[in-house]
Amino acid sequence: MMDLTKTPRRIALGLEGSANKLGIGVILHSGPSLSSSSATVLSNIRHTFVSPPGTGFLPKDTAAHHRSFFVRIAKQALAAADVSISEMDCICYTKGPGMGAPLTSVAVAARTLALLWDKPLVGVNHCVGHIEMGRAITGASHPVVLYVSGGNTQVIAYAEQRYRIFGEALDIAVGNCLDRFARTLKIPNDPAPGYNIEQLAKQGGRVLLDLPYTVKGMDCSFSGILTRADELAAMMEKGTGKGPDGEPFTPADLCFSLQETIFAMLVEITERAMAHVGSNQVLIVGGVGCNERLQEMMGAMAKDRGGSVYATDERFCIDNGIMIAHAGLLAYETGFRTPIEESTCTQRFRTDEVLVKWRK
């Protein structure tokens, strides 16, 4: 096999569709070796399936969305990147974890392109994609990673060729808790339910409503909090809800209290992991990582420990194709390939199952 690290330019196409975002991106790695290569984003196009207020995105509808938009978005991404197909080294797609139907639709598209253009396929773990993109963008060298999204809540640190999970949500993911609460309050899902909760929470702050706080060691749980928040919302609807100050509370107060509680839990488990591995860098990735209040709280914790927080904006935090292209290309450079017969996808794919050969 040709030593790819010697070639000056390597280009990969990344296809992501594990949830309601269809993302396609093209990345360029230039430079002679793995350690000194630099990554350039050539294009990063995304299209989101938005369901009406009060509803979530169903697998069937989301898969239909991805199928109908795939060709359009792929053409846009290739045009924006301005590279020819012959220059492309490999096609990277999300192998998992995620929702079955959307994953399948994108995996089928990835196979089709691979056969059509005669390019090798690389199946990528979605979580590893987030981590690698976060590291590449922020330059954090050895951070503790908090990965928070609609489907995942994990505190991760790297050791011995694996991203090890130190703590995680025991039931629903933090983003799922926020999304479902947005449904309860009938907050629009456009651009994202979490974003709208964040904006509403900025108007709150008068009172802090009492919600359960469930941290178990480095793990945490969100379903009980959601149940209580839903109960409080129902009381508010009926007009029987009273805050600690005796005044009725508003949706803004609820959003504020929910954010303060669940983000405090996330920061607490992250702090524990940091104390363990002796790192004072923390990197936040995943859709919930866009939340400025979470970034602010994490920053306060990191400052207290003499460290700093690294976060990216919505282009890289929210699911995107470029992160799949980047992580896939890193694996490709170490010789990793996914033969077409094995180019399946899976809903369950733990972050620590991936052998991270590209890091020391």
CB of 13 to another protein, least distance (A): 24
The answer to whether 278 is annotated as binding is: no
Nearer to another protein, 15 or 27 (CB): 15
145 is in an annotated binding site: no
Length of the chain: 360
**Region near another protein per CB under 8 A, out of 3-11, 49-57, 180-188, 297-305:** 297-305
| Contact in structure between 310 and 58 (CB atoms under 8 Å) | no
Distance of alpha carbon 311 from the chain centroid? 12
Residue 249 has what DSSP assignment?
P
Of residues 100, 94, 101, the one with CA closest to residue 128: 94
From 80, 78, 92, select the one nearest 124 (Cα to Cα): 92
Q: Which is nearer to another protein, 267 or 331 (CB)?
A: 267
Nearest to 270 by CA among 290, 255, 289, 292: 289
Q: Return the sign of the alpha-carbon dihedral for residues 261, 262, 267, 273.
A: positive
CB 284 within 8 A of CB 294: yes
Q: Does residue 189 have a known ligand-binding role?
A: no
DSSP 209: -
Cα–Cα distances (Å) from 292 to 70, 127, 183, in that order, read 31, 21, 21
Q: Is the dihedral of CA 309, 357, 275, 198 positive or negative?
A: positive
151 is in an annotated binding site: yes
Query: If binding is defined by CB under 8 A, does position 238 make contact with another protein?
Result: no
Give CA–CA dist 209/200, Å, rounded. 15
Biggest alpha carbon–alpha carbon distance for the chain: 72
Is the CB of 309 or the CB of 331 nearer to another protein? 309
Q: How far is the CB of 118 from another protein (least distance, A)?
A: 32
- Draw the binding track, 80-119, toward another protein (x: CB under 8 A; -: no contact): -----------------xxxx-------------------
10/126 with CB nearer another protein: 126
**Is 338 in contact with 121 (CB distance < 8 Å)?**
yes
List, in order, residues 6 or more apart from 280 with CB less than 8 Å away. Answer: 274, 302, 305, 306, 307, 308
> x/- binding map, residues 149-188, to another protein, per CB under 8 A?
--xx------xx-x-xxxxx-x------------------
How far is Cα 127 from Cα 38, in angstroms, rounded to an integer?
21
304 touches another protein by CB under 8 A: yes
# chain residues binding another protein, by CB under 8 A: 53
> Measured from the CB atom, is 117 or 213 closer to another protein?
213
| Residue of 111, 202, 305, 337 interacting with another protein (CB under 8 A) | 305
Looking up tokens 């926020």 gives 178
What crossing angle do the helices spanning 174-184 and 251-277 adopt, rounded to 10°? 180
Closest separation in Å from C-beta 358 to another protein: 17
Residue 306 contacts another protein per CB under 8 A? yes
**Is 291 marked as binding a ligand?**
yes
- Select 196 or 351, whichever has its Cβ closest to another protein: 351
Q: Contacts with another protein in 260-289 (CB under 8 A)?
A: 260-261, 264, 267-268, 271-280
User: What's the closest the beta carbon of residue 296 comes to another protein, in angstroms?
Assistant: 8
Whether 217 has a binding-site annotation, put simply, is: no
Report, in Å, the least distance between residue 151 CB and another protein: 5
Q: Give the dihedral of Cα atoms 158, 160, 161, 162; nearest 10 deg.
A: -50
- The response to whether 335 counts as a known ligand-binding position is no
Quick one: which segment of 105-113, 194-202, 321-329, 344-352 binds another protein (CB under 8 A)?
344-352
Told to check if 360 binds another protein by CB under 8 A, we report no
Enumerate the known binding-site residues for substrate: 147-151, 179, 194, 198, 291
Residues in the site for another protein, rule: CB under 8 A? 18-19, 97-100, 151-152, 159-160, 162, 164-168, 170, 208, 210, 213, 216-218, 260-261, 264, 267-268, 271-280, 296-298, 300-301, 303-307, 347-351
